[in-house]
Amino acid sequence: MAAEGWYILDSHGEIYAVKGVVQPPDRFYAIPKRVRGPEGYVKLPTLGSALDYLRRERPHYLFDDPYTGRVQPAVPHNHISGLLRPSQTLSDNVPEGLRRDALDLLEVLGSGEDLGFTGSLLYGLARPDSDIDLVAYGLDFGRRLYGRLARLRAEGVTASVGLSSLPSLLAGRRDSLQALQMAILHEGRKVLTGLFRGRLFMVKLVPWPHEYPESWSRTRCRPLGRAASRFRVLDAGMGIYTPSQYIVEPVESCPHPVSIVVSFRSRFAEHCREGEVIEVVGTLEEVSDGGRSFLRVVVGWEPEDTIVRIG
């Protein structure tokens, strides 16, 4: 089954990024990335522009989703002409310098069948200055790969994102109003994001569907409105993955007993560390699953959403 990191070619010849681990039975959650224009493919750089395109051109790709409690973008199976699975091979049209850097980074990470290229390297529209995007599947493999990335950073094989490389990073985050502040405070210490030979790279660690605790048929989420509060991070063990999850406790008066902060967007992976105090703006949700229910804050649905460490 397709999951985060895969790409879809739809019946119109347009390219969609599959999102999430849990998928509906007859479609895949997916965001349009490259759509047809008068002179070839047009890039949709933000979530907002992607959703606007769907409302205007592909309204049948939007559906009232009982799992998330929202209208979600998802491509029906009968509108899919091809699926692109992350791969360790690159097409012939990848620019030579990018090809060399991408394959060398893959080599130092250590090959494994659950690790592959994604993004423009996968769907074949990479430019000479494109980033290197990789995705790894499985909780155990992801944790081992994370350890490898930490060692490579300590050895100087990769470098942290600095001020000079922020423009490249922020180009893909224009739909987050606090992207610059979050990048300055958080990105430099991440090993999932960094520089290899001066080129930006990003690695997603994604659980297999059977490892993820939620189910499309069983889990039900109900948005309750906007939430803004401060929390202390108690457990960041699942924070390195996409979706990322942080176990938290309030550090100030909180009208709701929130114990989890979660994001389905990879930019919030590896964002928090245990013991830190964070300021969170997102959507309050009630989650019901198998007879139990709990409250959480979901970050990443709206441009105003943010997680910022303050202590």
Beta strands 199-206 and 15-18: pairing type? unpaired
Report yes or no: 309 and 278 within 8 Å, Cβ to Cβ. Answer: yes
Distance from C-alpha of 306 to C-alpha of 192, rounded to nearest angstrom: 19
Residues 6 or more apart in contact with residue 240 via CB below 8 angstroms: 142, 143, 146, 192, 205, 269, 270
Ranges of each domain in the chain:
7-84, 96-209, 213-309
In eight-state DSSP terms, residue 59 is G
pLDDT in tens, 254-268: 778 899 999 999 999
CATH class of 213-309: mainly beta
Between the two ends of the chain, the Cα-to-Cα distance in Å is 41
Q: pTM of the entire structure? A: 0.94
By CB atoms closer than 10 A (0-12, 13-18, 19+), residue 237 is: exposed
pLDDT in tens, 127-180: 999 999 999 999 999 999 999 999 999 999 999 998 777 777 777 777 777 777
Residue of 88, 86, 67, 65 lying closest to 76 (CA atoms): 65
DSSP-assigned states of every residue in 146-183: HHHHHHHHHTTSSB---GGGHHHHHTT-TT-TTHHHHH
By CB atoms closer than 10 A (0-12, 13-18, 19+), residue 220 is: middle
Average pLDDT score over residue span 3-29: 97
